[in-house]
Chain A
Amino acid sequence: MSGKQAARLKYACDMDKSVLLNNFEARGWIPVGPDDDWQFYWANVQSVRNVFSVDSGYRLQDDQVINHFPNHMELTRKDLMVKNIKRYRKELDKDNNPLAEKDDTGRFIHLDFIPHTYTLPADYNLFVEEFRKNPNTTWIMKPSGKARGIGIFLVNKLSQLKKWSRDSKTSNFVPPTSKDTYVISKYIDNPLLIGGKKFDLRLYVLVTTFRPLKCYMYKLGFSRFCTVKYNANVNELDNMFVHLTNVSIQKTGNDYNAVHGGKWTTQNLRLYLESTRGKEITDKLFDEIDWLIVHTLKAVAGVISNDRHCFECYGWDIIIDDNLKPWLIEVNASPSLTSTTSSDRIMKYKLINDVINIVIPPGEQPDVRWNKTAGKENLGNFYVLYDEDLAQSDPVALDPKMKLGTGPVRGGLRETKGRPSPATWK
């Protein structure tokens, strides 16, 4: 690694976002075009496709880092994510891994973090079978490849899915392209409500390598609240303001407030939950969220092409039900960097700042051959969620690695039941 002279790196950036550009300028970096000799490229997903496409003949140098993994959709497309998680669970089950422990009804105890999901149209018949077993349930349809709440609708009658029905009578059935696939999941109709309102969590997780897995959790995540009271009434199923927490949808509602943007810090959420529900159950919730993320990353670690030029900062959407159980909704490869409020802008600025410091240790030139172990002093507001290298070398140290960002350190007091020793994880 080169010496610690003030490194004026060359960067390329596809997005005109102040939180990015301000960070680059603060470091004295030099803007160049994506076709020039950049060392740091904050790209959008289309450009990344070009960079890594077989036809482009692009070869990344040892001092070039880019902000997406080539096939991140294994994690960020809803249908692929579900497929990978299901496969991961099956594998652990086959190996009789204690993680795959099931309860009396056959549900996974530790790995039950995604709601029942089917891919349409492929699993249509399986879905119908399940739906007929419990006809009074609500399901949520989401297009696999879209974001920001586009194209989502709720379903509680089979007739709403007419177009997927493979009735042989409709001879003009055209096999849909992968662009048209949907996932349909059991709708969580008992979300935790605060002040009577539904909310979800947006957490940021930085992954610098998948094999070995090194991931970092950002302490300053936030909750997004619906502006309208939650109403589980079936007549309100069409009211998107009640059910979807995406800010882009809430923003257009009448009661949207631009001062706080319907966002609450995770600290306030913790304070509320600890005060009203108690410390143990709150700690357990945040613990389960950490594990949920690690398991999901582990599930895709085998299929993601672990190009060492890549890192990625994901936006995780998690919903909590009123038993204080977290559910994974989806993972976003390009979490929004637009700021809706001033505290939002500050938070996202700090996020990018810390991401850059972890990916390229400050003052140094990027060198993709390093072991990617970030120094403690560079973590900023991130904490180490899981570091496979360190976990392998020191099994006992696995526990302190999982310490929650805002709770007290619990040293060796954590129960290890159900958590396997690192040696069994590939």
Chain B
Amino acid sequence: MESHFSPGYVQNLLQSLKSSKIYTDLHNAAQTEVSKTSVRVSELKKGVQSGLAASGWEKKLRNEIYQYLLSHPVSSHPQATPAEHLKEPLLYLRKAQQAWEKRILKSLNSMCTELNIPLARKRPEKEQKELAGRWTELGIDGPDLTQIRPVYAPKDFLEVIMCLQNPNYNAGDSSGTYTLWGLVQLPLKLSSINRLRLLYSDMAINQCQTGVDDSSDIPADMFDSDRVKLGKKVLQAEHSPIAQEYAKKGCPVSLREDLWSQILGINVDEFDVLYYEQLKANVIAHDLLVDSLLYKDVKLTATNDDQYFVFEDFLYQILLPFTRDTEVLSHFARNSASPPKSYIRGKLGDENFSVVYPPNGVIPFHGFAMYVAPLCYLYKDPVKLYYAFRAIYTRFFFRLHSISSHPQGIVCLSLLFENLLQTHEAELFFYLKSVGCQPLKIAFKWLVRAFSGYLSSDQVLLLWDRILAYNSLEILSVLAVSIFSFRKTNLLKVQSYNAAEAVLADLTTLQVIPLIQLSLFSK
């Protein structure tokens, strides 16, 4: 069978499968098959294979491989791609990301020294017991947060992006006539509007969608009840690609949890529960400075949000173990970022005494907790919620806060937003620029947070349906453009940046799917 996967790729895939749990499970299942009396020795292989297929193992294996394919894209050169190119092929962006990371780490370290808090400390026995006792109510009596500040906020990150420049690029345009209007001045490869239309063709106006055609004033039998019936069938098939295909038109509310679990390949069994308990034990045993950062973040964002405040305690139960989870480190192979290193006291620079800090390599920023918050509407079990968040983060959201040339990275999403706006709403963009308002300054925070906390909760979930289904974050840029389009009349009347911000301050009344449809398919 001819495939476009190089032998090296297949090799890696097999290796990854062999070292994962499904290998042992299949092994055990095969043993069970062999011991069945219906299998004949002369046809051992065929008998075991058909037995495994019949008991659903082929499906599980397929799903596992599918998840691998989604998270390990085929690299440009099958044999000789160096590891750092997998992370980020362009040198200047690699360097920029490293410089940014150095800054973050420096900021973290200086906060440590200023406030005289260790990066990590072991909790005394008594404190451990006390924490374990109130694990489900961590929102009360948290650490003293008055001195803690977030390490950085999206606007700090935007300033770094604004200054990025490709040293090899000379537009031959010293007068600046042909420069792009926006803040991001980089020659990066982006999707054109036509390519986006093709990609999102299942969202076209002539196709019924969840989020448009299932509202209460439309009779259920026109779309909704059939959609739910089909959804239930899809769930029974237990096949990730099918679930993903189904989700392209949105997930009905009651089926969303199961559909997302299938798309993300989440199957919580007792080993997963044990692993989570282990992470929890790690949180109880040691107190990290990052914990205080996360506490502060939750208190600043979700606790003040009238859609998510209810779930405050769940957020701690997800975010704190997340920082201890070293399995997250594997995603750095395809992330332009690298896990920050810290050194044992007195051994600075000695690689033998370096540890990754925090253990999962992710330093949270202001608004990080909002990646978890919308998921709380779907998963009422903290363990399942944990794995769902981890899967979504390591598949998608990590791209929203690191510098890279990846078409779904935040740099390209910002550039895509500005390009689309300049091309399709030139009058608006030019007008806003002339009153001192760069649209990206307002839209950036929406993109970094994937709109969590800005749209109303049901709309965020409808949007994230599409992110999972089309396996792309580009829809965020499209939505941002459509919001500017939608409020164009008011925006064309503003006289200052603050006025523009006020027009776009409250997005909670917006219906995202019709907006995206208008933007993509009606010009």
- Taking beta carbons and an 8 Å cutoff, which residues of A are in contact with B? 194-197, 225, 228-229, 255, 257, 259-265, 267-268, 271-272, 274-276, 278-279, 282, 341, 343, 405-411
Contact = CB atoms under 8 A, between A and B. Distances in A.
Contact of B310 (A194, A261, A267, A408): A194
B219 A274 contact: no
Given A195-B314, A408-B220, A229 B136 contact: yes
A343 B306 contact: yes
B253 A274 contact: yes
Contact of B214 (A195, A263, A408, A411): A408
B153 to A, nearest CB: 19
Given A260-B304, A279-B254, A271 B380 contact: no
Given A263-B306, A275-B254, A405-B216, 17 more contacts: A225-B309, A225-B310, A229-B313, A255-B139, A259-B306, A260-B305, A260-B306, A262-B309, A264-B307, A271-B377, A271-B458, A275-B378, A276-B379, A279-B252, A408-B219, A408-B224, A410-B220
> Which of B218, B224, B254, B314 has the most chain A CB atoms closer than 10 A to its own CB?
B254
Interface in B156-200: none
A259 B214 contact: no
Contacts of B394: none
A411 B253 CA distance: 21
A229 B310 CA distance: 11
A195 B224 contact: no
Given A196-B136, A267-B458, A275-B378, A257 B309 contact: yes
A206 to B, nearest CB: 21
A276 B257 contact: yes
A343 B456 CA distance: 13
A261 B303 CA distance: 11
Contacts of B378: 275-276
Nearest to B217: A409
Interface of chain B, helix or strand or loop or mixed? helix
Interface string B245-276: 00000001110110000000000000000000
A408 B140 contact: no
Contact of B307 (A257, A268, A274, A409): A268
Contacts of B458: 267, 271
Contacts of B217: 409
A267 B509 CA distance: 13
Contacts of B137: 196, 229
Size category of the B interface is 35 or more
Given A271-B458, A408-B220, A410-B220, A278 B254 contact: yes
Interface string B286-325: 0000000000000000011111011111100000000000
Contacts of A197: 310
Contacts of A282: 254
Nearest to B306: A260
Contacts of A408: 214-216, 218-220, 224
A410 B456 CA distance: 26
Nearest to B310: A195
14 contacts: A196-B314, A267-B456, A271-B253, A274-B253, A275-B461, A276-B380, A279-B228, A279-B252, A279-B253, A406-B216, A408-B216, A408-B219, A408-B224, A410-B220
A274 B252 CA distance: 10
A409 B256 contact: no
Nearest to A403: B216
Nearest to B254: A279
A228 B253 contact: no
Contacts of A405: 216
A225 B139 CA distance: 14
A97 to B, nearest CB: 31
Contacts of A262: 309
Contacts of A195: 310-314, 376
B496 interface: no
A300 to B, nearest CB: 31
A159 B313 CA distance: 37
B457 interface: yes
A405 B139 CA distance: 34
Contact of A275 (B219, B228, B257): B257
B94 to A, nearest CB: 41
A266 B388 CA distance: 26
A409 B225 CA distance: 11
Contacts of B215: 408
Nearest to A405: B216
Contacts of A194: 310-311
